[in-house]
Structure 1
């Protein structure tokens, strides 16, 4: 999954759930903690 797709997925998940942990996102997206952090910063 490319970064833009992950970012859209993160936003979609947040629209259904107000709080998501980095661990929740890594489990859902199958990427590392650092990848999630980089995607969030962008």
Structure 2
């Protein structure tokens, strides 16, 4: 799996579904939460 920056949150469809970009503030803390909740993205 290729790792992509979370700049536009366009990593995987399930990621967009779980984390609504319109409801979540764009801050590093949510990026860390995203990575912590989705370890498969780091594989």
TM-score by length of 2: 0.37
Q: Which has the higher contact order (CA 8 A, sep 6+)?
A: 2
Larger Rg: 1 or 2? 2
